[in-house]
Amino acid sequence: MAQRHGSLQSLTGGPGSVNSAPSEYLMANYISGMQLYGRMSAVRRFFCLFCTFDFLFSLLFWIICVIISCPVGQKDGSSAYVTTLECFKNETLVLDPLDLIQHHVFDIVITSFCRFLVLIILYAAIHLNHVWPVAVSTALSSVFLLAKTLFYQYQESALSDGSHPFVVMLVLSSFFLAWTEAWFMDFRVLPQESRARAIVEAASSAERENDPLLPNIERVRDYLSQHSESVANFYSPKESPAASDDEDEPIFRGNRLTSLEEELRTAGKDSFQKAWATINSSDWKLEKKTSHGDLVHSKPGTKTPKIYRLTSEVDVAPEILFKEIYYNLENLPTWNSAITHSKLLQKVDASTDVCYQVAAEGPGGVVTARDFVNVRHWEKVGDCWVSSGVSVPHPDMPPQKKMVRGENGPGCWVFGPVANNPNKCTFKWLLDTDLKGWIPQYVLDQALTHAMIEYINSIRKYTPTILRKYTLEQQQQDDS
């Protein structure tokens, strides 16, 4: 296990922890080598496009050479006027190979086409993963161009009327393009695809073993789903706004989402948009203020009498707190006494999953224990990490006979930065819940307000542990 961890760390740029972030440069390399759903990787598509460009560029250059040197309108030996078509026929319809090499340059176009055809068949159609085809094509092209340079009769050639510089440029450009293809396949395409396959294998292994490296794999997945696909290392990151319609496809899978997964993802995205709009809305009424400066506000809900918003500050960086709470879901009952059981039921995609939680009874047993099944979805909005949740039915966890199933409307947690203090987090929590059963509203106000205050106090007590864990992981990363 330790050896596998080390190999994955070398691939992703650091220890596989909730706090490690692979470098953007390395991540772009891995992404360009990914082959999703059997499709060609971005870096291989770029290579095939470059091979096509090689042939078309040589063809266009040759056409220009012929047109420049063609004596259009002049009489030939038979007193007939020369046309452009005649010039092209004289260049292409040459049966003697030696004459073609010595007096014409159409053979350069033929060589470029042969190189294009062989490389496209082997690397695009057959999807060969070896450097020898492009190495052989480049070597043969180089030998031919060298022979062409030595035997070409510049003064006696068909293209002798002021087109010599173009002929030289055509030879040099064909030589340069052939060697560029060899370099790109050997140093970009094959290494990046190899690294990408290693990432996929490590991710699959980590998921099977429920490895703690999973959060780092999630960063790979999220990067894939939120970045525009391009070629080689040229990627333009785009941030996902709250109302983004971009669809992130499931990564590291052999098939697409099932109908249930599509419904869950849609529910997660919809809850995110609604919760983000609600938590940033106006007309909130202050319910309680604590000595720590925590503020609990409320306002009428659409399906419940009241919804609640908690605003606090915590002495930990926003990203660290977000990852600890989101990714270490099943560790929640160890530090939050309000939750007695927390379990991940299903992963849907890079930023969406389904969880099951049991909430402890309220103070004095006024409100008995409730359980919830929620779909969670997270995105980064500006400098804030935002995680939303809403209740959904799930076949793996139907309502329990001895437990009241509560229902959560669209809610969210917002982890934002504090101005001029990157090691401090502005934490907001939107709570929209229906505990079911007949409970007086004043009792709900007291119970839910108390629960929110206890939750932020539990986070504050747990913060030193988070920081110690983060510091230890950073030290291990520096040592490695």
The string of pLDDT tens digits covering residues 25-54 is: 555 556 677 766 567 888 899 999 999 999
Closest to 455 in 3D by CA, of 333, 293, 324: 333
User: 259-479 maps to which CATH number?
Assistant: 3.30.530.20
Contact 293, 456 (CB under 8 A): no
* Lowest-confidence region among 249-253, 389-393, 405-409: 249-253
Higher local confidence (pLDDT), 324 or 445: 324
Contact 402, 288 (CB under 8 A): no
Higher local confidence (pLDDT), 5 or 111: 111
Q: What is the pLDDT of residues 161-201, one digit of tens each?
A: 556 777 888 889 999 999 999 999 998 899 888 887 776 66
* Lowest-confidence region among 126-140, 217-231, 314-328, 385-399: 217-231
Residue 388 has pLDDT above 90, yes or no: yes
pLDDT of residue 140: 95
DSSP result, 207-252: HHTT-TTHHHHHHHHHHHHHB---STT---B----TT--PPPPP-S
Model confidence at 74, in pLDDT bands (50, 70, 90)? low
Closest to 22 in 3D by CA, of 358, 477, 327, 470: 477
Q: What is the pLDDT of residues 288-343, one digit of tens each?
A: 999 989 999 999 988 888 999 999 999 999 999 999 999 998 999 999 988 999 99
> Which tokens belong to 361?
């009874």
pLDDT of residue 226: 46
Pairing of strands 370-381, 407-408: unpaired
> Which tokens belong to 470?
């983060």
pLDDT of residue 384: 93
Q: Length of the chain, please?
A: 480
Contact 382, 405 (CB under 8 A): no
pLDDT of residue 13: 42
Model confidence at 252, in pLDDT bands (50, 70, 90)? very low
What residues does each domain of the chain span? 1-238, 259-479
Mean pLDDT value across the chain? 79
* Lowest-confidence region among 69-83, 173-187, 377-391: 69-83
